[in-house]
Amino acid sequence: MFLNLSNHPSSNWTPEQISAAGGNVVDLPFPQVLPDGDEAYIENLADEYLQRILEMKDVSAVHLMGEMNFTFSLVNKLKTNGIKCVASTTMRETVEENGVKISKFKFVRYRYY
Percent of the chain, pLDDT > 90?
A: 90
Strands 84-97 and 25-27: unpaired
Non-local (6+) Cβ contacts of 2 within 8 A are 21, 22, 24, 25, 26, 60, 61, 63
- Sign for the CA dihedral angle at 14, 17, 34, 103 comes to negative
**What pLDDT is attached to residue 57?**
87
Q: In b/e form, how buried is each residue of 62-72, taking b as 16+ CB within 10 angstroms?
A: bbbebbebbbe
Q: 104 falls in which pLDDT band (50, 70, 90)?
A: confident
d(CA 4, CA 46): 15
Identify which of 110, 56, 46, 109 has the alpha carbon closest to the alpha carbon of residue 78: 46
**What pLDDT is attached to residue 97?**
85
DSSP E strands in 1-113: the ranges are 2-5, 25-27, 61-64, 84-97, 100-112
pLDDT tens-digit series, residues 9-34: 999 999 999 999 999 999 999 999 99
d(CA 110, CA 103): 20
